[in-house]
Chain A
Amino acid sequence: MPGPSQRPDSERLDASLYLHPQTLARLGSFELRAKMIVEGVMSGQHRSPYQGVSIEFAQHRPYVPGDDIRRLDWKVYGRTDKLHLKQYQQETNLDLLVLVDSSGSMNFGSRSFEDASGVGRKTSPDGRSYWSKFDHATATAAALAYITLHQGDRVGVVVFADEIRHMVARSSQRGTWRQVVETLAHQSVDRPTDLPRVVDQLLGKVSNRCLIALISDLFADAGHIAEALARIRHRGHDLIIFQILDRAEVEFDFESLSRFEGLEGEAKLNVDPRALRKGYLEALGEHNDRIARLARSFGFDYEQVHTSDWLGPTLAAFVAHRNAQIKKRKYG
């Protein structure tokens, strides 16, 4: 399992582009937990106990603050003077599928790359000088994958636009992290979004219930989004929605006459943005509110993530919120 100190052998695969040390430092103190117990292939279709009463020992892992001390392996502690937890096969069957939107609209960004990356680089490896929403989405996806792999769970990554463009099969093997990072680093960001079609393709390849993390700006028809969410719910999967937005999209504070060109082939518009600001913000707000209501209606979590924020605080707030929900379910 790759640790935080492990670095890719090429610049393109530099994990620090996606997992800034500051981000990892914040995430290291939390445990990502699924709100539901994933049914493993081995354990059939019934729900496993949360405590992880094991049928088959899987591995030890280091203790991190927040872990249940009842599951500490005291024997190992007695021999090595280090705290380790015993993990069983049931517990390792938390599958996380990260869906990363690579449609054209994700290629927008108003923040400079140098400011966002935090490592002193002025341009991205492909020459961009701005930090796009897709950059933020891939960083978020990598962070989630890293945390999940660090906990010994399986992670898969799906990059999509109007269809599934690349997919990394779920795995908890050592090379998974490298595959994930490499996949995220080699994606073109264009083409329109067709979420229902992507969900159909995805569900056709996933047989067991898993946790799906959808990372997208969700600039699609709300009806199509509702359709996709309904299918995920229908198949019993859990879903975490990360809506990636840029500060300029949220505030729309352009002052001068501009020519707006859509990134997904929409019409071009010459307009004084000040004249449309109010109407635009209303339309965007109404759309986001509808997405939030949809997520709540299906029992999914919804989190709005701005590219102007660091990944750490956003993910930490989300994980904390997630843990609270799980404990609430667990203890009633």
Chain B
Amino acid sequence: MAHPALLAAGLACIAIPIVVHLLTRRRRRTVRWGAMRFLLEAYRKQKRRLQLEQLILLLLRCALVGLIGVAVAGPMRGGADAGGRARTLVIVIDDSIASGLVGPEGRSALDRSKAAAAEMINALDAARGDMAALMTLGAPSQALVLPPSSDLAGVSRAIAQIEGVQSAADWTGLCSQLDSWLSQSEVMSPEVVVFSQMLEGSAPVERAVRPLSRAVRWRLAQVSGGGLENIGITDVQPPRSLLVVSGLGPADLASPVRVRLLRSGLQLPDGEITSVGAWLDGVSAGGGLVEPRQVGRTSVTWSQGQTEAEASIAVSPSALEGLTSSGVLRVEIDRDALMDDNVARAPIELRQKLRVGLISSGRSGTGGLGQFDAADWVRLALLPGEEEAAGIDLAMVQPGSLDRSRLAGLDAAIVLRADLVGAGGWEALSRLVQEGGMVIIAPPASASSHAWIDAMIQSVGLPWTLSREAQVRDPAPALAEPGGDEATSPLRVLAGELSFLVRSVHVSRGLSIETPEQDVLLRMSTGQAFLVMARPEEARGAVALFSSAIDPSWTDLPTKPMMVPLFQELVRQGVARGVKGRSMVAGGVAPVHAPGGELLPVGEGRSVRLPEQGAPGLRRSGVWMVRDVEGVSRGLLVVNADAAGARAGARTPEQIERWLGPLSQGGLTLNAGGEQEGGGEAAERRPGIEGLAWLAFAAALLLGLCEMFFARLASHAEVGGAA
């Protein structure tokens, strides 16, 4: 509310010139004058000077009234503080992960934002028509109260109930919702007030914001709290997301747990050490976490200015003993200003054995090496030693009789006689891929024409183009060293030896494959694709395709050392990609498809009902068990904090103004002074405005004195009234 005395004083000041004018008219008396000729002569001589003096007096009086107007209007600026106009505020509170940064005083930025916003709400007056809306910034941005409500107490309660989330700031979502509301709203001049620290994480200036359809006045009530340092975990990669316990060998544990760290803040000192530990939490059948087992521990030493680091933690086999089903790999680092991004998880699926079907018509293993067919080579690769120790059960499936029942219970299928697979077979294979299975296809060596390709492409639905006839390559090119991102490659376990292994493999014959670059796992030195792999749309599993038959007449791969690890990894990683466990970053869309189902918390947390259509946006980190509408478990869902959104580096006002320029066509005010400037407006800024008003009144008074002095001077009256 405005100060009533201030308003009354302002209005009274406006009336001053009118009163002066009326009094002057009353005071002007008529004099019937005899010596008029001398008066007129004097007036003619001084007319210009008198007019100039009158003009100066007029300007002084105008300035006087104008200053008074400024004094009165000052409190009205930025809203209706002066008491006349109703205000409509859209309060946006940054509850993203960055808001959890705890300052030296022990309060998080979110707590300070909430307190400041509550004060601002308290300063509004519902009786005057003030209204307020409430939105949160953490992805996905939520409109807690929109359209604006006059129930200011309700808005205050909603503010108090806001809890921090582990997702990044969602400016796009915020603007989208604001735009949608503005397009339907008739509110004349809404003001959006954002309470945020506007750090690197909460103000991602590298992502452009879309202008709103209507000009809106923005105010950034920048909450203090910068200058902190934060280290977060941006990614955790277990050796495999599927571990076959009975076949656990050196290859399974040769690759460590890879942890990516992100360091941010104003000062990034040299020699800082971050301890990184990994644990494996088992998940019981009832949905609880069993006693965690430590997998390993390491540390990272930061150099001056270093912002990113990767830590590798070797996995101890003993950590996996006794685990029989699903688990969660948990990585933690040292405590710092923000706890939420100090923990990251990855789901791990445990199996006793994998069941792989070989789709081939041959009689396997009956002759010598010269009579080996593709199935024989693959069996040798998958079962190089004792079958019990391999962790893989192989089943032979005749391609002509291939259907869903034959594939039931299989984790993967390797199609070696695709030319004999019928339409029903391809449909069954597509179904297997849809449900998370792995299908590996190699052209049959005996076929002269490969008409099966059309049926295969049509069934799996991948954008691949293959030639119908094999091309002979002479001399046979060797395989090239793989490029791309090793971290996400299904062959990443072999990364250390892959460059050595591929050199000895030559391809003398094969189909030509045209496929997107990211689908190619291996290619020949001549550039043609040798092995491609992709996940069909809306499928959990994956499809891999060799361009050459697994036959020495096409390629010497079967006889080379690469054969065994290649098929082992294809099967294990392929199946792992289709396992039920999923992970995501908070703020994203949950990669689950269980309409009407439910997310049950594993450990702490609240259950989430899954919508009938679409997928829910999850804002908090944690582990959930996915259950479909029939109550069947669909695996784990791990949500990790968005560490990128928790970057603690400061943004300059210039950066913010440049970034939010397109948004703020109605004006942008950046209060860089901390919470007193922002949320403290109700109790602390308003006195500032009134102080300005009183200052203007003082200036008006001074100007009034100047006016009186000049008026006296211009009248040429003698001091002391002797005239």
Contact = CB atoms under 8 A, between A and B. Distances in A.
Given A274-B717, A274-B723, A279-B46, A263 B53 contact: no
Interface in A108-134: 108, 133
Contacts of B36: 105, 260-264, 266-267, 269
Contacts of A133: 34
A282 interface: yes
24 contacts: A105-B36, A217-B34, A219-B34, A249-B34, A249-B35, A255-B717, A255-B723, A256-B28, A258-B28, A258-B29, A261-B32, A261-B36, A263-B36, A266-B37, A267-B36, A267-B40, A271-B43, A276-B46, A277-B723, A279-B43, A280-B42, A283-B38, A283-B41, A284-B35
Interface in B6-49: 24, 27-43, 45-46
A251 to B, nearest CB: 9
B50 interface: yes
B32 to A, nearest CB: 5
A255 B33 contact: no
Contacts of B32: 107-108, 261, 263
Given A269-B43, A283-B42, A219 B29 contact: no
B714 interface: yes
B370 interface: no
B716 interface: yes
B716 A263 contact: no
Interface in B179-195: none
B213 interface: no
B33 A275 contact: no
A266 B44 CA distance: 14
A163 interface: no
Interface string A277-298: 1111011100100000000000
A314 B721 CA distance: 30
Nearest to A265: B36
A91 B24 CA distance: 63
Given A104-B34, A276-B46, A260 B39 contact: yes
B303 interface: no
Given A249-B35, A279-B46, A269 B40 contact: yes
B19 to A, nearest CB: 15
A153 interface: no
A259 interface: yes
B715 interface: yes
A187 B31 CA distance: 23
Q: How large is the interface on A (under 10, 10 to 19, 20 to 34, 35 or more residues)?
A: 35 or more
A219 B31 CA distance: 17
A270 B717 CA distance: 17
A219 B37 contact: yes
A149 B28 CA distance: 48
Contacts, number: 109
Nearest to B50: A275
A264 B38 CA distance: 13
Interface in B39-87: 39-43, 45-46, 50, 53
A261 B34 contact: no
Contacts of A257: 24, 27-28
A276 B29 contact: no
Contacts of B717: 255, 274
A309 interface: no
A133 B34 CA distance: 10
Contact of A276 (B28, B30, B39): B39
A260 B37 CA distance: 11
B33 A261 contact: yes
A107 B723 contact: no
Contacts of B45: 279
Determine the main DSSP class of A at the interface with B.
Answer: mixed
A248 to B, nearest CB: 9
A280 B28 contact: no
Interface of B: 24, 27-43, 45-46, 50, 53, 714-717, 721, 723
Nearest to B714: A275
Contact of A275 (B34, B40, B41, B53): B53
A272 interface: yes
Nearest to B41: A283
A94 to B, nearest CB: 33
Contacts of A246: 34
A249 B39 CA distance: 10
Given A108-B33, A260-B36, A275 B27 contact: no
A254 B40 CA distance: 16
Chain A CB within 10 Å, residue with most, of B34, B45, B715: B34
A77 to B, nearest CB: 52
Nearest to A270: B28
Interface string A151-167: 00000000000000000
A108 B34 contact: yes
A266 B40 contact: yes
Interface in A84-118: 104-108
A270 B714 CA distance: 15
Given A249-B35, A263-B33, 6 more contacts: A108-B33, A133-B34, A246-B34, A263-B32, A269-B36, A276-B39
Contacts of A274: 715-717, 723
Contacts of A255: 717, 721, 723
B43 to A, nearest CB: 6
A270 B34 CA distance: 15
Nearest to A263: B34
Contacts of A275: 46, 50, 53, 714-716
A264 B29 CA distance: 19
A262 B39 CA distance: 10
A253 interface: yes
Nearest to A108: B34
Contacts of B715: 272, 274-275
Q: Closest 7 CB pairs between A and B?
A: A279-B42, A108-B34, A262-B36, A105-B34, A274-B715, A283-B38, A266-B36
Contact of B35 (A219, A258, A270, A279): A219
Contacts of B40: 266-267, 269
Given A260-B33, A266-B36, A284-B38, A276 B43 contact: yes
Nearest to B711: A272
Contacts of A260: 30-31, 33, 36, 39
B552 to A, nearest CB: 120
A269 B43 CA distance: 9
Nearest to A104: B34
Contacts of A253: 723
A129 to B, nearest CB: 13
A275 B711 CA distance: 10
Contacts of A278: 42, 716
A107 B42 contact: no
A254 B38 contact: no
B501 to A, nearest CB: 108
A269 B716 contact: no
Contact of B34 (A107, A258, A267, A269): A107
B29 A259 contact: yes
Contacts of A267: 36, 40
A249 B36 CA distance: 10
Contacts of B721: 255
Nearest to A249: B35
A280 B723 contact: no
Contacts of A104: 34
Contacts of A266: 36-37, 40
A260 B32 CA distance: 6
